[in-house]
Chains A and B, each alone.
Chain A
Amino acid sequence: MVEVSDNLILRLDHLHKYFGGVPAVKDISFSIQEGELFGLIGPNGAGKTTIFNLITGVYSPDSGKIYYQGEDITALKTYEVINKNIARTFQNLRLFPHSTALENVMVAMQQHHTYSFGEAITHFGKWQKKEREIKSESMDILALVGLAQRAEQKARTLPYGMQRRLEIARALALKPKFLLLDEPAAGMNPEEVNELNHLILDIHSKFKFTILIIEHHMDLVMEICPHIICMNFGTKIAEGNPLEIQRHPEVLKAYLGEEVDEL
């Protein structure tokens, strides 16, 4: 299904992860092309977030390898993975709640505008120029996600949908080549989901980077992702375009089964 190409940005090779003997991820392999908008769907507990945690080095896999732009990143620490220009958001938000929206973005943005320790304690040299760049570029990103008016507000006092967008803004401030979004629409109403769809498509076309989205609800992914994988119980059950996924019997079973369970 996935054409062989030199433009692979990410390749997962037979990943396994167990928690206390229970498999969370079982023999997962897939590849993502540079520039793709890639969806990863599956019912709750399918192991989607575990995949993100494995990619970003929050967990290490029990077996299997992760390659990013051809390089083995399996054993790297989280910050080392991130410094390869990968960024992610969280399913349950992890903003710095007592900092303002602007500060939340600046702490990511400053990774690309550093100055020396000597300049930091004296405010001589590049300090002023760099701080100004950090602030103005952070404001640009806040404007992009529609939070420019809220820049000085504490993150925890923002409405939920805005907190989600702030997290995306913070990830964008890392200027990633590869962005992982973990259930960006969780807890949003249909109108907010619609706005989010536009935002994701916007930033994808604007920054020309690769995006991997996890979603529990199929609608968002079906609408915007041309290439989708579906997981259940830690294994890959289907891969293809939205139409193929929608018709795949295993996918129907996974989601139908879940709906029956929820009743």
Chain B
Amino acid sequence: MSVYAEGIVVLLCVNAIAAMGVSLLTGFTGIFSLGHAGYMAVGAYMAAILTLRYEFHFIVAILLGGVLAAIIAYVIGVPTLKLIGDYYAIASIGLGEAIRLILENGGTITRGARGFPGIPPYTTLAVAFCFFIIMAFFMFNLINGRFGRAFKACRDDYIAASLLGYNTAKYRILSLVLSAFYCGISGALLAGFLSFIQPIMFDMMKSTELTSIVVFGGLGSMTGTLISVVIITLITELFRPISQYRMLIYGAILVIVMVIRPEGIMGQYEFGRKLGKTLKEKFLGNHFSKEGGKS
């Protein structure tokens, strides 16, 4: 495999891990975030500092990057996710900005806005791929079971969910903490892939990219998220020469998908056990299951 192709695959794995985290939060739990790149930044800097300065083993550093992101998410999530309303969404912008400002003014620890060079290149293709497979295995298992059903119940009708005995705030916070962990791991892998990180890499544009991927893939479909990661990462690579249109395209995707097909390309379908049934419905039974074929 050429170095370029290898780089693309690593990038796909890194993006997919972060996107699965955002998908769990936004697609399955119905919480909108504008600051998930901030959690990636936390993971990236944590792993960079631990490996370079304190010579931690990179796997430990990556995991601690995820853990720190999860802890920060918990601290922000507890006061905001107990409330109904867009409190978390607004706090998440604030969080993303605050993390960036702290990193830029972090002195010798974060090395400021010019960036953090010389990170050991620990994210090889094998490392990125193994992390992706393990994280995807955990995520798909999680949503296929009692937690997945509980998240969706809290998303669809929090009053009905609480009347089925669910402490909905607890599930919202759990979803946020897990998604931040995924983003932290993703950021840590990115740091080891690029060897150089800069606060500006984790700006609002990166957060928007993650949300666009999830929305395009379909809110409530993990498979859709993975397909969407491939499509959008490749499109971004192909259209690098006209990158000034990139943000315009992300924005337009968000609006158009919401207006025309809020379920995204996959709707809530998952591949796997349901694949056969889905295909059968799509090709044979669309006329009699008009309602069932949707969403």
Q: Please give the distance in Å from A96's CB to the nearest CB on chain B.
A: 5
Which one of A62-70, A105-113, A223-231 is at the B interface?
Answer: A105-113
Interface check B286, CB cutoff 8 A: no
Residues of chain A contacted by B153 (CB below 8 angstroms):
96, 107
Nearest chain A residue, comparing its CB with the CB of B147: A120
Which residues on A are within 8 Å of B, measured CB to CB? 56, 58, 77-79, 82-83, 87-88, 90, 94-99, 103, 106-108, 110-111, 113-115, 117, 120-123, 127, 130-131, 134, 153-154, 156-157, 170, 174
User: Within the complex, what minimum Cβ distance (angstroms) separates A56 from chain B?
Assistant: 6
Question: Does B172 lie at the interface of the complex (its beta carbon under 8 Å from any beta carbon of A)?
Answer: no
Q: Which of B147, B152, B163 contacts A56 (CB 8 A)?
A: B163
Q: Does B55 have its Cβ within 8 Å of any Cβ on chain A?
A: no
Taking a contact as CB atoms under 8 Å apart, the answer to whether A122 and B141 are in contact is yes
Within 8 A of A (CB), among B28-44: none
In the complex, the chain B residue whose C-beta lies closest to that of A153 is B292
Collect the chain B residues with CB atoms within 8 Å of residue A108's CB.
Answer: 164-165
Task: Let me know if B149 and A107 touch, CB within 8 A.
Answer: yes
Q: A58 to B156, alpha carbons, bound, how many Å?
A: 18
Which B residues lie within 8 Å of A106 (CB)?
149
Q: Check if B291 sits within 8 Å of A82, measured CB to CB.
A: no
Contact for A78 among B138, B141, B162, B291, CB less than 8 A: B162
Tell me if B291 and A114 are in contact (CB < 8 A): no
* Contact assessment for A82 and B146 in the assembled complex, using a CB-CB cutoff below 8 Å: no
CB of B157 within 8 A of chain A? yes
A94-B160, A96-B153, A98-B268 known; A79 vs B145 contact (CB < 8 Å) = no
Q: How many A-B residue pairs have CB under 8 A?
A: 87
Interface string of B144-177 (1 = CB under 8 A from A): 1111011011001101111111111000000000
**Residues in A neighbouring B139, C-beta threshold 8 A:** 121
The docked-state distance in angstroms from the alpha carbon of A134 to that of B150 is 14
Q: How far is the CB of B267 from chain A (nearest CB, A)?
A: 9
Decide: B162 and A79 in contact? CB cutoff 8 A: yes
When the two chains form their complex, are residues A157 and B165 in contact, meaning their CB atoms are under 8 A apart?
no
- Contact at A96–B152, with CB atoms within 8 Å? yes
Residues of B within 8 A of A88 (CB): 163
- A79 & B166 in contact (Cβ 8 Å cutoff): yes
CA distance A63 to B94 in the complex (A): 40
Given A103-B149, A107-B150, A82 and B163 touching (CB < 8 A)?
yes
Chain B, residue nearest A56 (CB): B163
Given that A96-B157, A122-B141, A153-B292 are contacting pairs, would A79 and B165 also be in contact in the complex, using a CB cutoff of 8 Å? Answer: yes
Contact B152 A78, beta carbon cutoff 8 Å: no
Known: A96-B153, A99-B152. A115 touches B146 (CB 8 A): yes
Q: 8 pairs across A/B with beta carbons < 8 Å?
A: A58-B163, A77-B162, A94-B160, A106-B149, A107-B161, A123-B145, A157-B291, A170-B164
Asked if B295 is at the interface (CB within 8 A of a chain A CB), the reply is yes
Q: Is the CB of B291 within 8 A of A79?
A: no
Tell me if B60 counts as interface (CB < 8 A to partner A): no
User: B142 at the A/B interface (Cβ < 8 Å)?
Assistant: yes
| Contact between chains at B145 and A111 (CB < 8 Å) | no
Measured CB to CB, the closest approach of chain B to A92, in angstroms, equals 11
Query: Is the pair B138, A121 in contact by a Cβ cutoff of 8 Å?
Result: yes
Please determine whether A78 and B163 come into contact, CB atoms closer than 8 angstroms: yes
Q: Which of B141, B164, B268 contacts A82 (CB 8 A)?
A: B164
Are A120 and B142 within 8 A (Cβ)? Answer: yes
Residues in A with CB closer than 8 Å to B146 are 110, 113-115, 120, 130-131, 134
3 closest A-B pairs by beta carbon, nearest first, are A82-B165, A94-B160, A121-B138
B192-239: which residues lie under 8 A (CB-CB) from chain A?
none
Determine whether the beta carbon of B162 is less than 8 Å from that of A82.
yes
Contact B138 A122 (CB under 8 A): yes
Minimum CB distance partner of A114 in chain B? B146
